[in-house]
Amino acid sequence: MAAHNVRRTPLERLEYATIVSTLLFLVVLTVQPLLNLLAISFSDPGKVAGMSGLTVIPNGFSTEVWDLLINNSAVQRGLFNSIFITLVSTVLGVVLTALMAWALSRPGLPGRRVIFVFVLVTIVFEPGIIPDYFINKRLGLIDSYWSLILFKVVNAWYLIILVRFFEEVPKELIEASELDGANPFQIFWYVALPLAKSALATIALFYFVFHWNEFFRAMIYLNDQSKWPLQVVLRQFVVEGDKLAMVGVVDSNNYTGASQINIRALKAGMILLTIAPILAIYPLILKFFTKGTMSGALKG
């Protein structure tokens, strides 16, 4: 459209400037709070007190806060737990979802419609957290990583997205492989999966983000603090304001009183540390989530 209006009136230029500055304002609103935390976490801990929430430039420079965080045993355990839970549940989720989706996408599969309804019911009717808790308790999953890994290990929405995708696989390809004597598992592995690479990547990212950000179930199912994922450690420290869980009883004296300032910087660093893996895969998220959502909306 831009090509058409070569000559612009001053009014049009003013309009455009207003639009651009409105959007830039939104960008600042979004990013500034995170940059502020970044600046605080890298400031000289002695100079954090009185730092404005508006600044994005560190006051002095020090990596002391990050050293403390990286060497903190609660943080290390939390990182390990988060990575373990997220990776296992992502891999398991993608595998089980892909298998089920491929089978469900086969036209003519007897009972296909019934199974669809069976899955859809779980989306519209969720009896709530208490029955869920009792099932996990009965299965002996309290205080086990599996209470988190198995939660929505096959997500009904992601399943349906993949089914949609697999339905587009050309019939001729499958018939040709069948003529070559391939069995259904070989067709799944050698034909369906390679075609679905980008869809699978999208689903994998969905699962990764979902499990990395999960805290509620970890909060209710894991009483053992050594099994807490990073989100729960962060919550205990920043939201609940519980310093002891974070810095430990022995060290707590070093962080209280006069050096209270360290706590603010420590919180800032802790928030950013929890975001870091999301930031690391953010380019992929932008690529696949955006494409997935765009095509989903267009196809409708």
Partner 1 sequence: MTVSNDLATSVAMPRNGNVPKIQRRNLARGFRQWWPYYLMMAPGLIFFVIFHYLPIWEAKIAFEQLRIIPPNIWVGIKHFQTLFSSPIFWQVLANTLILSTMKIVFFFPIPIIVALLLNEIRGGAFRKFIQSAIYLPHFLSWVVIAGVFIAVLSPSDGAVNDIIGFFGMQPVSFMTDTGSIRWVLVFSEIWRSAGWDSLLYLAAIIAIDPELYDAAEIDGANRWQKIRYVTIPGIVPTIATLFILNAGMFLNADLNQVINFSNDVVRSKIDIIDTYVYRIGLQTGEYSLATAAGLFKALLGMLMIVAAHLLSKRLTGKGVW
Q: Which of residues 93-152 bind partner 1 (CB under 8 A)?
A: 96-97, 99-100, 102-104, 106-113, 115-116, 118-135, 139, 150-152
Minimum CB separation from partner 1 for residue 18, in Å? 9
Q: Considering the rule CB under 8 A, would residue 238 count as an interface residue with partner 1?
A: yes
Decide: 43 and 241 in contact? Cβ < 8 Å: no
Query: Alpha-carbon distance 230 to 271, whole Å?
Result: 10
Q: Which is nearer to partner 1, 77 or 106 (CB)?
A: 106
Residue-wise DSSP of 138-184: HTT-TTSTHHHHSTTSS-HHHHHHHHHHHHTS-HHHHHHHHHTT--H
| Other CB atoms within 10 A of residue 3 CB | 5
3-state secondary structure of 1: coil
Provide the token pair at 178: 């069948």
Q: Considering the rule CB under 8 A, would residue 190 count as an interface residue with partner 1?
A: no
Minimum CB separation from partner 1 for residue 37, in Å? 6
Q: Which is nearer to partner 1, 109 or 173 (CB)?
A: 109
Considering only 58-66, 71-79, 242-250, 274-282, which stretch makes contact with partner 1 by CB under 8 A? Answer: 274-282
> At a CB cut-off of 8 Å and minimum separation 6, what does 265 contact?
40, 41, 43, 45, 48, 65
Question: Where do runs of H (alpha helix) occur along 42-170?
Answer: 64-71, 73-104, 112-124, 129-138, 146-149, 156-167
Q: Which is nearer to partner 1, 196 or 270 (CB)?
A: 270
Of 280, 268, 275, 287, nearest in space to 68 by CA: 268
Q: Considering the rule CB under 8 A, would residue 248 count as an interface residue with partner 1?
A: no
Q: Which is nearer to partner 1, 24 or 173 (CB)?
A: 24
Q: Which is nearer to partner 1, 196 or 268 (CB)?
A: 268
Minimum CB separation from partner 1 for residue 184, in Å? 4
Q: Considering the rule CB under 8 A, would residue 12 count as an interface residue with partner 1?
A: yes
- Sites for partner 1 among residues 73-92 (CB under 8 A): none
Query: Alpha-carbon distance 22 to 19, whole Å?
Result: 5
Which residue in the set 234, 246, 263, 265 belongs to the binding site for partner 1 (CB under 8 A)? 234
Q: Considering the rule CB under 8 A, would residue 58 count as an interface residue with partner 1?
A: no
Q: Considering the rule CB under 8 A, would residue 10 count as an interface residue with partner 1?
A: no
Q: Which is nearer to partner 1, 2 or 249 (CB)?
A: 2
Of 265, 158, 273, nearest in space to 212 by CA: 273
Q: Considering the rule CB under 8 A, would residue 220 count as an interface residue with partner 1?
A: yes
Which residue in the set 235, 255, 263, 269 belongs to the binding site for partner 1 (CB under 8 A)? 235
3-state secondary structure of 256: coil
Minimum CB separation from partner 1 for residue 150, in Å? 7
Which residue in the set 38, 91, 142, 160 belongs to the binding site for partner 1 (CB under 8 A)? 160
Which residue in the set 85, 159, 247, 263 belongs to the binding site for partner 1 (CB under 8 A)? 159
Q: Considering the rule CB under 8 A, would residue 265 count as an interface residue with partner 1?
A: no
Query: Alpha-carbon distance 158 to 39, whole Å?
Result: 38
Q: How many residues bind partner 1 (CB under 8 A)?
A: 114
Q: What is the largest CA-CA distance in the chain?
A: 78
